[in-house]
């Protein structure tokens, strides 16, 4: 597959053959992913944006809903989603992929232009649907992904074409079969965008004492309407969502930044280290690294 070959070319040229994880490319907001062996099913938080796999396959689990995707698909993620993911390398070849952030200015600009031109997304409001969808890779989307990877392998193309290619990729997602997710995100008056606003607060202020009532106020909704809409979009209750965000952030602090367990617990909003350790083990099926519960 051409896209996979271009991704491997990027790995070779940027000396990323030892990369296990994700790194930002020379294009702002475009991240490159590589994993030599994949991973067993484990919790992750997918951020808003577009995710493309050029090689390998993944299964993601949102509540009880499994979603599979690989080189024949791409993901549209309207709001940050706590989920579980398992990844499979193919015949000894590493997983290779891209993750593209969509900044709000670009999203609003394109949605406004499309609506002025009379364009309507393929499906109506996603306020009652999950905030993540797998989409079959159309020819136009595959083409722009290939050109984006080709540009990343050429400094001149990166400098001159990067922004226009990123904008085209967002355009292809907006006009794809699940583009309504991004349209609804841009419409601040809709339930979907209101929940997205509350989720932004969770990811920004996870260490604070967040309540369902305060998040409902952030979304300008009644508590009952907020709770129902929140569950429709994230397939989680607000309390469970907050807990998963905190635990995933704590895992980053412990494993990537070397924080002690007590310090990580405090930094993500836990007052009790023992409660944190119990919930961490229940969520990740493992104890925090070293279990160094310093006083």
Q: Using the predicted structure, report yes or no on whether residue 249 has a pLDDT greater than 50.
A: yes
What are the tens digits of pLDDT across the range 24-60? 999 999 999 999 998 888 888 888 899 999 999 999 8
pLDDT at 79 (0 to 100)? 82
**How many whole angstroms separate alpha carbon 101 and alpha carbon 98?**
10
What are the tens digits of pLDDT across the range 278-292? 999 998 888 886 544
pLDDT at 188 (0 to 100)? 61
Are 68 and 58 in contact by the 8 Å Cβ rule? The answer is: yes
- Mean pLDDT, the chain, integer: 88
What are the tens digits of pLDDT across the range 132-148? 888 999 999 999 999 99
CATH of 2-104+135-171 given 3.30.70.270, 3.30.1950.10, 2.40.100.10, 2.60.120.10: 2.60.120.10
pLDDT at 255 (0 to 100)? 85
pLDDT at 277 (0 to 100)? 92
Q: Using the predicted structure, report yes or no on whether residue 119 has a pLDDT greater than 80.
A: yes
CATH of 191-291 given 3.50.40.10, 1.10.10.60, 3.40.228.10, 1.10.340.30: 1.10.10.60
Could you tell me where in the chain the CATH 2.60.120.10 domains are found?
2-104+135-171
Share of the chain above pLDDT 90, in %: 59
* Integer angstrom CA distances of residue 43 from 16, 197, 198, 244, 269: 25, 23, 21, 8, 19
pLDDT at 292 (0 to 100)? 41
pLDDT at 128 (0 to 100)? 44
Residue 86 Ramachandran class (φ > 0 left, ψ -120 to 50 alpha, else beta)? beta
Instruction: Give the pLDDT band of residue 129 (cuts 50, 70, 90).
Output: low
Could you tell me where in the chain the CATH 1.10.10.60 domains are found?
191-291
* pTM for this predicted structure: 0.77
pLDDT at 226 (0 to 100)? 94
């Amino acid at each position: 597959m051409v896209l996979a070959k271009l991704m491997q070319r990027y790995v070779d040229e940027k000396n990323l053959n030892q990369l296990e994880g994700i790194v930002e490319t020379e294009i702002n907001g475009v991240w490159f992913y590589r994993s030599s062996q994949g991973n067993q099913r484990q919790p992750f938080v997918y951020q808003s944006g577009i995710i493309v796999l050029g090689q390998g396959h993944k299964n993601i689990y949102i509540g009880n809903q499994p979603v599979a995707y690989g080189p024949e698909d791409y993901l549209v993620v309207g709001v940050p989603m706590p989920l579980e993911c398992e990844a499979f390398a193919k015949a000894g070849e590493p997983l290779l992929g891209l993750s593209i952030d969509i900044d709000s200015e670009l999203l609003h600009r394109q949605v406004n232009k499309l609506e002025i031109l009379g364009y309507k997304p393929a499906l109506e409001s996603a306020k009652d649907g999950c905030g993540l969808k797998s989409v079959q890779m159309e020819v136009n989307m595959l083409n722009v992904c290939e050109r984006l990877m080709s540009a990343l392998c050429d400094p001149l193309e990166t400098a001159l074409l990067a922004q226009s290619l990123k904008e085209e990729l967002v355009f292809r997602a907006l006009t794809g079969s699940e583009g309504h997710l991004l349209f609804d995100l841009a419409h601040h008056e809709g339930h979907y965008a209101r929940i997205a606003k509350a989720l932004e607060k969770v990811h920004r202020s996870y260490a604070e004492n967040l309540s369902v009532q305060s998040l409902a106020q952030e979304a300008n909704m009644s508590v009952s309407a907020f709770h129902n809409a929140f569950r429709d979009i994230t397939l989680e209750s607000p309390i469970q969502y907050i807990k998963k965000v905190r635990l995933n952030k704590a895992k980053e602090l412990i494993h990537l930044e070397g924080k002690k367990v007590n310090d990580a617990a405090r930094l993500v909003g836990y007052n009790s280290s023992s409660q944190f350790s119990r919930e961490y083990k229940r969520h990740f099926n493992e104890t925090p690294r070293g279990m160094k519960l310093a006083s």
